[in-house]
Amino acid sequence: MIAISVDTPEQSQHLRETQGYTFPILSDARDEVIRRWDLVHPHGGPDGVDIARPAEFLIDSSGKVRWVNLTGDFRVRARPQQVLAAFDGMNSVDASSVLTRGSNAHGHDDVAVAAGFVSEGAELAGGLLVL
Amino acid sequence: MKRSWNPGLWAGFVLVLIGFLSYPLFFARFPLTRDFPWANLLILALGLLLIGIGVARAFSRSDQYRGKISGSILAVLALVVTGSFCYGVFAMTRQLPASHGSPHVGELAPDFTLPDSKNNPVTLSALINSPFTPNGSAAAASASGRTAATVLIFYRGYW
């Protein structure tokens, strides 16, 4: 599980440390990948900067996209159960293998961790929704 | 005769303010109350109801209750606050452009390399094919010890 945002590596590292996230957060500060994937939210950030719209992709071992969630409302993100259901839907893989993930600093159980990342991130973003 | 205070007006206005502020400060943290803000709408509706009753009282029984002027001002302010909340939640957060060029189901995910939070370059294709590591990068490991699937999440950032 990996995340991408326009934040700098330093900001992302701070977030990982304060929230106990163990998944990598990649920095696309110049919107290059976000633009190439057509996921720009123009002027969506503070002071009118371009940021990414929230989006979730499930990619299989051959590099193929198997599930996409593009929200039409940035308050509403994929819930962990949706991602796990999409994973279960990939019948070529063993769904139980998601259990072998590591844990985060809060020590939740593993499925909850992999799934919890999605909701924690979304919650954070939601918490910053001060208009 | 001294007219009595009209507490419903003020209680209603406080409720409307709470209904507005509790969304970013509290209810937005939980998917159940974030995705559709029913809790906040309920508080706002209750606040408006109290103000409505208070204003009706002030005008129909103005010999007994105060609040003709203050009630009118509070009612207008409460409607503005409620309107801003509804605009923010039902219109503003939906102003996202269409995305036709993002990878569809069945397509290959376009490869990229970006720095992680420790400035190490991470390449998507390498990640997808990487052997599984417990605190590693991809989503899950298959029986062969290779990554079975990767969940890639784009965030708005500014955390």
Quote the DSSP letter at residue B96. -
Angle between helices A80-89 and A110-127 (to 10 degrees): 130
Q: Which helix (H) or strand (E) holds A69?
A: strand A65-70
Residue B66 to chain A, least CA–CA distance (Å)? 35
**Confidence at residue B132, expressed as pLDDT on a 0 to 100 scale:** 54
Contact A129 B23 (CB under 8 A): yes
What does R_g of chain A's alpha carbons equal in angstroms?
A: 15
B95-108: pLDDT as tens digits: 888 888 999 999 99
A86-129: pLDDT as tens digits: 888 875 444 434 433 333 333 333 333 344 344 444 433 333 32
Which two three-digit tokens encode residue A25? 């957060």
Q: How far apart are CA B58 and CA B130, in angstroms?
A: 72
Residue B136 to chain A, least CA–CA distance (Å)? 7
Give me the interface pTM, i.e. the ipTM: 0.77
Q: How far apart are CA A87 and CA A67, in angstroms?
A: 8
If you measure CA to CA, which chain B residue comes closest to A8? Answer: B117
Contact B29 A127 (CB under 8 A): yes
Mean pLDDT of A71-75: 88
Cα distances from A36 to residues A30, A73, B157, in angstroms, run 11, 21, 18
Q: How far apart are CA B159 and CA B156, in angstroms?
A: 8
Q: How far apart are CA B95 and CA A114, in angstroms?
A: 29
Q: Assess whether pLDDT exceeds 60 at residue B81.
A: yes
Q: Which stretches of B42-118 are assigned E, i.e. beta strand? A: 113-115
A23-42: pLDDT as tens digits: 999 999 999 999 999 999 99
- With a CB cutoff of 8 Å and minimum separation 6, the contacts of B115 are A9, A26, A27, B121, B122
- Asked if A43 reaches chain B (Cβ–Cβ under 8 Å), the answer is no
Question: Exposed (0-12), middle (13-18) or buried (19+): which is B121, by Cβ within 10 Å?
Answer: exposed
B28-56: pLDDT as tens digits: 999 899 999 999 999 999 999 999 999 99
Written as one letter, the residue type at B75 is A
Q: Which helix (H) or strand (E) holds B79?
A: helix B68-90
**Confidence at residue A115, expressed as pLDDT on a 0 to 100 scale:** 40
Contact B149 A28 (CB under 8 A): no
Residue A18 to chain B, least CA–CA distance (Å)? 11
Q: How far apart are CA A109 and CA A44, in angstroms?
A: 35
Selecting from B23, B129, B156 the residue whose C-beta is nearest the C-beta of A5 gives: B156
Angle at A113 between CA A109 and CA A115, to 5 degrees: 125
pTM summary value: 0.75
Contact B109 A57 (CB under 8 A): yes
Cα distances from B41 to residues B17, B36, B85, B142, in angstroms, run 12, 9, 9, 46
Question: Exposed (0-12), middle (13-18) or buried (19+): which is B9, by Cβ within 10 Å?
Answer: buried
Q: How far apart are CA B157 and CA B69, in angstroms?
A: 45
**Confidence at residue A112, expressed as pLDDT on a 0 to 100 scale:** 35
